[in-house]
A and B are shown apart, each in its own frame.
Chain A
Amino acid sequence: MLTLKILRKLFRILNGDVSPRQIAGGFAFGVILGLTPLLSLHNLLVLFLICIIRVNVSSAIFSMLIFKLLAFLIDPLSHQLGYLLLVDFGFLNSFWTFLYNLPIVPWTGFNNTLVLGSLVISLILFIPNLIVVNKGVVAYRTSLQPKLEKTKLFKLIKATRIYSWYNKISNIVD
């Protein structure tokens, strides 16, 4: 039911009048929330940015959920990257030591291999996410959406009583 609801929301966002940039911005921030441990201090900043910048919150939640699941696969890689940066790259040592000696900063848990590694991965992915999702939404709306609506399967699904009944209930709940 939840999966169906998320997919319906996704389709509603994609088919609605929300700008592709807002969708892409929300998605990119959601990736940070999804890949890094949720209860980290930096995520409070991400949450603050999602609230004050005009990005789509639903796409942020959607990408967070998707990447939270993917994080289980990526965590070993995140740990290795974090270890590389914190331990193996000796030239960064003075920088980490500086941060380590600042007040409050240690609360972010940056010296944890998993936190740092996943944060770096999500930050690296931030700009590509913005570009790819933005272009993807534009492409979907211009070429794929009209074709999809004309397919027999789509029409068949829309014509079923279950869909209309579910749609009605969902609208009431929303």
Chain B
Amino acid sequence: MRWKGVITFAVILALMALFSFFFMDNLIKWGMETTGTMVTGAKTEINSLELSFARLSFSLNGLQSADPDNEWQNRLEINDIRFKMNWRPLLEGKVEIEEMAVEGIRSGTKRTTSGKLPPKEIPPPDPVVEKEKESLSAETEDVPALKILKGEQKVNVDDVVKPNELTAPAEIQKVNDELDKRHNSSMDLLNNLNLTPRIESIKKQIEDINIKEKDPRKLKKEISKAKDILKEIDKLKGDVKAAENQVRSDYAYVDTALKTIDQLKQKDYEAALKTITEAKGITGGDISRLALGPVWLDRAQSALKWYKIIKNLMPAGGPITETPKAKAFIGMDIAFPKEKGYPAFLLKKVLVTTGDKASADELKFSGKVENISSDQNLSGSPTVISLTGTSPVFTLDGLLVHNATASNDTLTLIIKDYDLKGFSLGNSKFLPKTVSGGRADIHAALVSSGGKTQIDITILPRELVFTPEDIGQSEATKQIAGVLSSSNDIKIEAVVTIDGGKFSWKIKSNLDDKISEAVKNLIAARMEDAKAEIKKKIDASVDQQKQELVNKLQVNKGQADTQLKEKNTSLDGLDKLFESKTKGLVK
């Protein structure tokens, strides 16, 4: 044995002991801060940490984790975390903690130093969720009603009203042609009566009658001639009357046609309106999904991220389907039966006590988490979470079963009367940035079994208030904010499912109908101006032509009337001549 070597070895051991004594605390502190920063995606700091080998105790003071969205605010701050380890399992390299005390949990506290992380330390967003959000955004761009809401889509009256496609002007042209045809026909009919020569012939016959004849036989003959002339006059009258009836009938057709033109003009107007109001047909479900989707996906992503962290810390669970493969250069730990088996890590109970003696901004809740274990087969119990809060009023219950037969997780969170003031609504194009006031009841449930995970969230918001700054200038956001503020019976149900790596989600809400109605009203209001313009253009295309037709009708009708009047006057003259000649004896 060489003593020089023994001294060297002793010095090495002493150095290791000194290193542990002076630097182990800082090493663990650094490790926890680094891991915390990595897991939360925000700067995590610890004020002090003490690990005592003699007492096997651990004490942590002043843990703060920054808010990734606000570098001067903490998302979480914990005053103290304390626990003691049991020595017996530690001899076997296992950590067993009987009880851990967590005290003084606060949220939203101010930071004295910036909690901003260098860009490279910010974890990348989930690619599946980001893809879903991108697809949602692209879908949004194609929805006509939303374009109208955003004020991007204007109505071009020239596109809507094309004169050559209107039915009323075509009908006017048709009626105009028919009027010409019928007018010509009427004129021909009147002219073809050949009235003047016929009257002249009758007049001559009347002049030849000698009613003063003394000879009865000759007088009788004269009377017979007068009767024949009278028959001829009546026939002439009949012909004129028939022609007059025909002419009146022809012009009556045009009067009816003018009414048809008015009806067609109304139809043209309605058809034009239909093309611009088709956007009204959009379902409310689309709008609600598009408006709330990005916010919901962000929240779901956040919830899934935390659940993934918890699940990764938990043992795999479930029946072993294949032999585990050794990791390169690390090997594989083989477990053997033990008289008293300890899992590699077992935290029997975490007692959370807070809100009774600390500062006013401290969260007021208490509860416990039992049996956090690296091997539930050895610890014998599933992990049970039970937390109850008074401000806000909430309960969080969880059962995480990860043993040889199953891998099932159930987490239920119920929040009553949650104060929504300052609640961020993300970067949705259609929602205000934050909620300035309001309350909500929230029920959230996460169920995971094997490779399938489902999150159901039901939110019942009410008394929502938004400031004009949060709403901004977007007409769409104004409308949606108006709907949200004025309704106290909104119910939003959202579901995210991950089954074998396949991601799906949906939102169901009565908000759909409310927003849909508001959108329709907005579109209708926007359409009023367009409607007036359309009416003006159709009127301009139809009314002038119609007026020309009416004028033409009146001129034609006037011509016919004049002719008929002349003809009737001639007939009257004939009657008078016959009366004066026959002295009323023949009738």
Interface-side segment among A2-10, A45-53, A125-133, A153-161: A45-53
Once bound together, how far apart are the Cα atoms of A87 and B323, in whole Å?
A: 12
- Asked whether any CB of chain A lies closer than 8 Å to the CB of B22, the reply is no
In the bound complex, do residue B331 and residue A100 qualify as a contact, i.e. CB atoms below 8 Å apart? no
Interface residue total, chain B, C-beta cutoff 8 A: 24
Quote the shortest CB–CB distance from A150 to chain B (angstroms). 37
What residues of chain B lie closer than 8 Å to A100, measured between beta carbons? 335-338
Once bound together, how far apart are the Cα atoms of A59 and B235, in whole Å?
A: 151
In the bound complex, do residue B2 and residue A111 qualify as a contact, i.e. CB atoms below 8 Å apart? no
Once bound together, how far apart are the Cα atoms of A104 and B89, in whole Å?
A: 10
Number of A-B contacts (CB under 8 A): 75
What residues of chain A lie closer than 8 Å to B338, measured between beta carbons? 97, 100-101
In the bound complex, do residue A54 and residue B326 qualify as a contact, i.e. CB atoms below 8 Å apart? no
In the bound complex, do residue B93 and residue A112 qualify as a contact, i.e. CB atoms below 8 Å apart? no
- Asked whether any CB of chain B lies closer than 8 Å to the CB of A141, the reply is no
What residues of chain A lie closer than 8 Å to B91, measured between beta carbons? 103-104
What residues of chain A lie closer than 8 Å to B337, measured between beta carbons? 97, 100
Once bound together, how far apart are the Cα atoms of A62 and B315, in whole Å?
A: 42
In the bound complex, do residue B2 and residue A52 qualify as a contact, i.e. CB atoms below 8 Å apart? yes
Quote the shortest CB–CB distance from B73 to chain A (angstroms). 41
Contact-residue size bin, chain A (C-beta under 8 Å from the other chain): 20 to 34
In the bound complex, do residue A79 and residue B332 qualify as a contact, i.e. CB atoms below 8 Å apart? yes
- Asked whether any CB of chain B lies closer than 8 Å to the CB of A93, the reply is yes
In the bound complex, do residue B330 and residue A114 qualify as a contact, i.e. CB atoms below 8 Å apart? yes
Which label, helix, strand, loop or mixed, suits the secondary structure of the A interface?
helix
Quote the shortest CB–CB distance from A174 to chain B (angstroms). 18
- Asked whether any CB of chain A lies closer than 8 Å to the CB of B281, the reply is no
Once bound together, how far apart are the Cα atoms of A72 and B328, in whole Å?
A: 9
- Asked whether any CB of chain A lies closer than 8 Å to the CB of B12, the reply is yes
Q: Which residue of B lies closest to A111 (CB)?
A: B334
What residues of chain A lie closer than 8 Å to B336, measured between beta carbons? 93, 96-97, 100-101, 111
Given the contacts A53-B1, A101-B339, A79 and B331 also touching, CB distance less than 8 Å: yes
In the bound complex, do residue A82 and residue B1 qualify as a contact, i.e. CB atoms below 8 Å apart? no
Contact of A54 among B2, B93, B94, B332 (CB under 8 A): B2
What residues of chain B lie closer than 8 Å to A106, measured between beta carbons? 92-94
**Interface residues, chain A, with chain B CB atoms under 8 Å away:** 47-48, 50-54, 72, 75, 78-79, 82-83, 86-87, 93, 96-97, 100-101, 103-104, 106-107, 109, 111-115, 117
Q: A47-B9, A96-B334, A109-B333 are in contact. List 12 more A-B contacts (CB 8 A).
A: A47-B12, A52-B1, A82-B331, A86-B334, A97-B338, A101-B339, A104-B92, A107-B92, A112-B332, A112-B334, A114-B329, A115-B331
